[in-house]
Amino acid sequence: MLLIPCPYCGERDETEFSYGGEAHIERPKEPDKLSDAEWADYVFMRPNSKGVLLERWVHSHGCRRWFNVARDTLTYKIHAVYKMGEKRPRVPKTDYV
């Protein structure tokens, strides 16, 4: 079970949080101008990457705030947490194959 450092509350068990998938996917401003494929890419397609992923979590059973986490999907190491709207942190490059 992950130990997630909520930027508002501190370290809490994973069971207090809900997962929100990849971060920094902005809802298109004018969806009507997108092709089906572009819209489907926004709604459905995610990279499922191996390595550091910037992802969203919400502290559902705590402060109920959304925030971002830089987490290695192989080692589960959390490199950084940052609030919504804050700049992406520098994260180590991984060279997993």
Supply the minimum distance, in Å, between the C-beta of residue 15 and Zn ion. 13
- Please identify which residue in 10, 85, 93, 95 interacts with another protein, judged by CB under 8 A: 85
Nearest one of 1, 23, 33 to 81, comparing CA atoms: 23
Integer Cα distance of 39 and 5 in angstroms: 33
E strands of the chain, at which residues? 3-6, 10-13, 18-22, 52-58, 66-72, 78-83
Integer Cα distance of 29 and 58 in angstroms: 23
Positions 62 through 81 that interact with Zn ion (CB under 5 A): 62-63
Residue 63 partner contact from another protein, Zn ion, none using kind-dependent CB cut-offs of 5 to 8 Å: Zn ion
- Please identify which residue in 3, 8, 34, 88 interacts with Zn ion, judged by CB under 5 A: 8
Binding mask 62-81 for another protein (x = CB under 8 A): --xxx--------xx-----
